[in-house]
Amino acid sequence: MATINIDKFYIAAITKDEIGTGNLVFQTPDYIPGIQSFQAKVKTNTGELYEEGELSDQDTTLQNVEISIDLGHFSNAQQAKYLGHHVAAEGGVYALDGDVAPYIAILIKYTKAGGVYHGYKVYYKGKLTEPDDAIKQKEGKINYQNVSVSATFQPLKNNGMWKYTIEEDDADCPEDIATKFFSSVIVPTEKKTL
């Protein structure tokens, strides 16, 4: 079903991502207000094997996921935290040439066509890149200029996951998904069939 609105946007820093049980740790997700648009472009690579002039096999691997977000608000403190910058004692944020953005997870909520059901997605591991600064004069009219942030995402080292999607009209969707989805980063387990 088509989507009609992007509703919520959260970021959770990753504090640990290593192989083994208990080696995947996320901080509590932070709400980033003012989401206006969200786009994820999946890049894959496909290898093809030809035998006797015909395609006989092929395999596809995930290269990365390029994410772009337009925000009405991205506070100085949030930029410092998620871009690896520093909060100044005098107020504001400053950036150094050696700053390194932390790995993060992105969580979103969207509305499906008809407005009755919502969907939720997690992109598990990526880093934000420094947004461009662009400020334009009013020219006799109001022209809002938002913060556009981009990120490159990859699979988790711990379990190989890179995305999770759940929608309220899924048969197994928990009834309390709207309240619990943003309280922590959900890492699903495979449903066992008989």
pLDDT tens digits for range 109-153: 999 998 889 999 999 999 999 988 878 888 888 877 788 999 999
What is the pLDDT, as a whole number, of residue 143?
A: 78
- 26: pLDDT confidence band, cut at 50, 70 and 90? very high
Coil/strand/helix, residue 31: strand
With respect to residue 119, please indicate whether it lies within any of the assigned structural domains.
Answer: yes
Neighbours of 100 (CB within 10 A): 9
Indicate whether 142 belongs to any domain: yes
Q: Which amino acid is at 29?
A: P
Checking if the pLDDT of 105 tops 90, the result is yes
Q: What is the pTM of this model?
A: 0.90
Expressed as residue numbers, the domain containing 66 is 3-180
Element (H, E) at 178: helix 177-180
Position 193 in a domain = no
Asked if residue 32 is part of any domain, the answer here is yes
pLDDT tier, 1 (very low <50, low <70, confident <90, very high otherwise): low
CA distance 154 to 67: 11
For residue range 52-104, list pLDDT tens digits in order. Answer: 989 899 999 999 999 999 988 888 999 999 999 999 999 999 999 999 999 99
Whole-number pLDDT of residue 133:
80
* Number of domains, the chain: 1
User: Which of 13, 5, 2 is CA-nearest to residue 104?
Assistant: 13
Residue 188 lies in a domain: no
Tokens 């390194």 belong to: 100
Residue-level pLDDT at 112 = 94
d(CA 49, CA 158): 30
In a domain, 194, yes or no: no
Give Cα 99 distance to the centre of its chain.
21
Please report whether residue 52 resides in a domain: yes
- The pLDDT tens digits of the residues spanning 160-179 come to 999 999 999 999 999 999 99
Asked if the model's pLDDT at residue 40 lies above 80, the reply is yes
Query: Is residue 162 in a domain?
Result: yes
